[in-house]
């Protein structure tokens, strides 16, 4: 199989950002999968490349990208090199970034623009739900370990301190960087509360949807994906036994194969997509 990898495509947004495409050479147009990373995520984290290869081998045009304000830069896409941008991130910007990605890749000659799938991980799942309810080009939705509400802000005294100081910091467990979160993030949420209502977005979905969660998720309880399933008419819910928030994967990932739990999740995704009008390779 002639697998093609296009790395670090520059996309134009409020702030330029990077995307990758993985697909096999074919005369046929391929269903487009766009993978949406989560909080503190980026396109080259851990196993996402291997996951993309598995989807590409199954007959999909797979795209992953860095959110414009996820802290990475064009020059340094694998590290949190721009903490000011990280602090200025918000859901409006993430949804705008995703729209840019959709618009760019749906027009590639190898892509079937009538078959566009979003796969969102964690916070990226919540963002993908909202985008799927807004953008009628999206034909299927999958989430991995998704949140079911975007309201995951500090509470009580911590919130008051955030409002007073204008910023709060979270230490990145791996890099030990102090990641800033400016109060504008909450203000953006408050100003767009109706748009950012994940439950309401689910109730507006009419496309086939699949919500996958690990039974041992240490960051987001599986109840979140249960909620998404409960709110969404045409949906399936799957639990991966013993899987944590990243389905057995970590950064750095030194194996040349997927973790057992993520491989199982990807197989479920492929089966779901085949059952919903895609026959595969």
- Evaluate whether 9 touches 108 at the Cβ level (below 8 Å): no
Q: Is residue 213 part of a domain?
A: yes
Q: Is residue 147 part of a domain?
A: yes
Q: Is residue 281 part of a domain?
A: no
DSSP state letters, 65-113:
E--TTSS--SS-TTS---HHHHHT--HHHHHHHHHHHHHHHTTSTTEEE
pTM for the structure as a whole: 0.97
pLDDT digits (tens, 9 = 90+) for 116-144: 999 999 999 999 999 999 999 999 999 99
Give residue 77's domain range: 3-275
Q: Is residue 101 part of a domain?
A: yes
- Structure letter (DSSP) for residue 260: H
pLDDT digits (tens, 9 = 90+) for 17-54: 999 999 999 999 999 999 999 999 999 999 999 999 99
Burial (CB count <10 Å: 0-12, 13-18, 19+), residue 252: exposed
Q: Is residue 78 part of a domain?
A: yes
* Phi, psi of 254, rounded to the nearest 5 degrees: -105, -5
Rounded distance, CA 123 to CA 149, Å?
A: 9
Mean pLDDT of the chain: 96
Q: Is residue 246 part of a domain?
A: yes
- Relative to beta strand 17-24, strand 3-11 is antiparallel
Indicate the number of domains in the chain.
1
Q: Is residue 280 part of a domain?
A: no
CATH code assigned at 256: 3.40.50.1820
Q: Is residue 223 part of a domain?
A: yes
pLDDT digits (tens, 9 = 90+) for 257-281: 999 999 999 999 999 999 997 544 3
| pLDDT of 277 | 72
Tokens matching residue 229: 């399933």
């Amino acid at each position: 199989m002639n697998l093609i990898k296009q790395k670090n495509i520059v996309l134009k947004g409020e702030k330029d950002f990077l995307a990758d495409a993985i697909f096999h050479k074919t005369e046929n147009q391929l269903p487009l999968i766009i993978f949406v990373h989560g909080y503190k995520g980026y396109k080259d984290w851990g196993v996402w490349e291997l996951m993309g290869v598995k989807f590409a081998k199954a007959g999909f045009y797979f795209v992953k990208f860095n959110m414009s304000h996820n802290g990475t830069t064009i020059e340094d896409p694998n590290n949190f090199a721009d903490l000011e941008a990280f602090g200025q991130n918000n859901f409006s910007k993430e949804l705008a970034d995703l729209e840019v990605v959709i618009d760019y890749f749906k027009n590639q000659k190898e892509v079937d623009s009538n078959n566009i799938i979003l796969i969102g991980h964690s916070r990226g799942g919540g963002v993908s739900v909202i985008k799927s309810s807004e953008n009628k080009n999206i034909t299927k939705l999958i989430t991995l370990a998704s949140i079911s509400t975007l309201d995951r802000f500090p509470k009580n005294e911590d919130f008051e301190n955030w409002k007073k100081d204008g910023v709060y910091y979270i230490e990145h467990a791996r890099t030990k960087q102090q990641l800033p979160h400016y109060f504008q993030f909450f203000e953006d949420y408050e100003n767009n509360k109706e748009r950012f209502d994940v439950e309401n977005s689910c109730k507006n979905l009419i496309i086939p949807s699949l919500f996958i969660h690990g039974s041992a998720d240490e960051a987001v309880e599986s109840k979140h994906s249960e909620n998404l399933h409960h709110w969404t008419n045409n949906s399936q819910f799957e639990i991966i036994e013993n899987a944590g928030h990243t389905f057995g994967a970590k950064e750095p990932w030194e194996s040349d194969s997927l973790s057992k739990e993520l491989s199982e999740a990807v197989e479920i995704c492929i089966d779901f997509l085949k059952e919903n009008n895609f026959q595969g390779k």
